[in-house]
Chain A
Amino acid sequence: MAYETQTADLDDPDRIWPTGLTIRESEELHKHVIDGSRVFFLISLIAHILVYVLSPWSF
């Protein structure tokens, strides 16, 4: 079933080189990457604040 679905997808003329994704698909994937980056940024920011409270560094 998975194979059939994905084979049929490849016939879509909107797919572009080199990713093989449509514009909408690539935009959605990009949204996930951006969201993930934001979460990582927020996590690292909080972690750095806590580390600074624990053991302050000087510039």
Chain B
Amino acid sequence: MVALKKRITKFYVSLGHQYMPFANVATTDLSLSRLLRLSLFQVSVGMTLVLLVGTLNRVMIVELGVPATVVGVMVALPLLFAPFRALVGFKSDTHRCELGWRRVPFIYRGTLLQFGGFAIMPFAILVLAGQGEAQSAPAWLGYVSAAAAFLLAGAGAHIVQTAGLALATDLAEPEAHPQLVGLMYSMMLLSMIASALIFGYALSDFSPARLIQVIQSAAVICLVLNAIAVWKQEARSHLHRPSATAADPSFQEAWAHFCQAPHTVRRLTIICLGTMAFSMSEVLLEPYGGEILNWSVANTTKLTALLALGGLLGLSFASHALRPGYDPLRLALFGALIGVPALALVILAAPLQFDGAFLIGNFMLGFGAALFGHATLTATMNEAPKEKHGLAVGAWGAVQATAAGLAMALGSMIRDLFNVIRDANETVSTALQGAGGYMTVYSIEIILLLATVALTLPVIRRMAGASGPDPIAPNRLTGSHRSFRSGTKASVNHGAP
């Protein structure tokens, strides 16, 4: 009887750990509350992304009448900073200061840039739109100030995210990396959903004064969230003080060493192609629903909800699936493979006029993209040389953000180019005239996903072949242990240069 009571107690106590989202990421040294607090930097980054790419994009075009081309350039400006994420990560790895911190100074500077960008942004946008007395001001003032505001806020978000993710990787045990990635990704996704709804509601009764209130509130919220996120998180270490004797490599040396790890360049290529495949149609799904399937605006918002739901379920699934010993690249492959039928369903929805196919396709796209993003970031974290997490996470972020931005721009350009050709050429089939541009983009995405699969399979086979009978045997090439297939061994992977 006592044994039975013990078993029942053990069962329901374990339920919380098993089913409470991301509860298994916490350890005795790193509590869940501390991790949730750290993940607040992702909330500020998600809020920044929504404001820059979504809300202000719409406000500038619809409410303020700024030409779409100018808005497109402004929104794309933060993308210019994305490739520098690898450098930011490297600098934070090798940063020396008397206080013994590596990540906190970068999060502090990134936050200042985020705050500064948002602080001047509403005035810059209003001057750009020629509101008030700004009509008599020189046009360059609006362009320069708006460009500076977007660049500052975007660069700040990139720096905060890179240093923040590197700090999270430093703090968590290697075997908890999959759950950590899931938690960080989920917080950003939830923040983006909540921010989109709140900003939409706050700006529904639009006025210039309301715009100033909303954006400057976002500036203060970013500052507060980032400060709470990093408070007492990073330990001060003698190793990171100027008096430390170890010499730091240059960026070129560190990058060369990073690329020497097995399949690094191929993995970065996989991240680039896969991200492009999942991002190219991101801004085209809603117009496709409205223009081709004749959905109302209210119905097309369901797509965003479905994408987000698929994303959250994908992150949760990936966190569970990536147990120690499971190769993250297998999951990335699975994510890419889900994307192919998802896009096929989206394409078929137009000729069949079958809304269900479009909805299921959207859900699967969100699910597949979440699996792919989660798995590639986890693989990068596990492969990162000890004490060099910043460079690895920065390289992942640089490739991912640049690929996503380029893909979104390319997607719109390809659709518009197709429409121009279609208008010039009367012989194109009339049946799919409207959908042709969209279908071209979706088809390119399928090709990109197949290319991702083709690149991923050989890496998985080689890693599986190299694993041999002893999964922790030292790798002959690097003299390090193979962490790729085992999260538990990641901590001894690739000695620092």
| Chain A contacts to B: CB under 8 angstroms | 1-2, 5-6, 8-9, 22, 24-25, 27-29, 32, 36, 39-40, 42-44, 46-47, 50-51, 53-56
User: Known contacts A5-B100, A9-B236, A25-B98; is A39 also within 8 Å of B116 by CB?
Assistant: yes
Q: Check B97–A5 contact: CB distance below 8 A.
A: no
A2-B236 Cα distance, complex, nearest whole Å: 7
Interface size on B, as a range, is 20 to 34
Q: Chain A contacts of B115 at CB under 8 A?
A: 43
Q: Check B119–A43 contact: CB distance below 8 A.
A: yes
Q: Chain A contacts of B127 at CB under 8 A?
A: 50, 53-54
Q: Check B131–A54 contact: CB distance below 8 A.
A: yes
Q: Check B112–A39 contact: CB distance below 8 A.
A: yes
Q: Check A28–B112 contact: CB distance below 8 A.
A: no
Contact with A along B111-125 (1 / 0, CB 8 A): 010011001100110
Contacting chain A: which of B3-11, B133-141, B403-411, B460-468?
A: B133-141
Q: List 5 A-B contacts (CB under 8 A).
A: A46-B120, A46-B148, A50-B123, A54-B123, A56-B133
Q: Please provide the 7 A-B residue pairs with the shortest distance between their CB atoms, ordered closest to farther.
A: A2-B235, A50-B123, A43-B116, A28-B98, A54-B132, A24-B98, A25-B98
User: Known contacts A46-B145, A50-B123; is A22 also within 8 Å of B98 by CB?
Assistant: yes
Contacts A2-B236, A36-B108, A54-B134 known; list 8 others, CB within 8 Å: A5-B100, A6-B235, A6-B236, A27-B98, A47-B120, A50-B123, A51-B123, A56-B133
B447 on interface, CB distance cutoff 8 Å: no
Query: How far in angstroms is the closest Cβ of chain B from A8?
Result: 8
Contact with A along B225-259 (1 / 0, CB 8 A): 00000000001111000000000000000000000
Q: Check A50–B132 contact: CB distance below 8 A.
A: no
A53-B488 Cα distance, complex, nearest whole Å: 59
Q: Check A5–B131 contact: CB distance below 8 A.
A: no
Query: How far in angstroms is the closest Cβ of chain B from A24?
Result: 4
A25-B101 Cα distance, complex, nearest whole Å: 11
Q: Chain B contacts of A50 at CB under 8 A?
A: 120, 123-124, 126-127, 141, 145
From the candidates B99, B123, B131, B133, name the one contacting A47 in the complex (CB within 8 A). B123
Q: Chain B contacts of A46 at CB under 8 A?
A: 120, 145, 148
Query: How far in angstroms is the closest Cβ of chain A from B497?
Result: 22
Nearest residue, chain A, Cβ from B117: A43
A53-B236 Cα distance, complex, nearest whole Å: 46
Q: Chain A contacts of B131 at CB under 8 A?
A: 54
From the candidates B97, B134, B237, name the one contacting A28 in the complex (CB within 8 A). B97
Nearest residue, chain B, Cβ from A1: B235
Query: How far in angstroms is the closest Cβ of chain B from A54?
Result: 4
Q: Chain B contacts of A39 at CB under 8 A?
A: 112, 116
From the candidates A5, A25, A32, A44, name the one contacting B235 in the complex (CB within 8 A). A5
Query: How far in angstroms is the closest Cβ of chain B from A31?
Result: 9
B105 on interface, CB distance cutoff 8 Å: yes
Q: Check A53–B141 contact: CB distance below 8 A.
A: yes
A47-B215 Cα distance, complex, nearest whole Å: 13
Query: How far in angstroms is the closest Cβ of chain B from A49?
Result: 8
Q: Chain B contacts of A43 at CB under 8 A?
A: 115-116, 119-120
Query: How far in angstroms is the closest Cβ of chain A from B496?
Result: 17
Query: How far in angstroms is the closest Cβ of chain A from B170?
Result: 11
User: Known contacts A2-B235, A2-B236; is A25 also within 8 Å of B116 by CB?
Assistant: no
Q: Chain A contacts of B112 at CB under 8 A?
A: 36, 39
A44-B219 Cα distance, complex, nearest whole Å: 13
Q: Chain B contacts of A40 at CB under 8 A?
A: 116
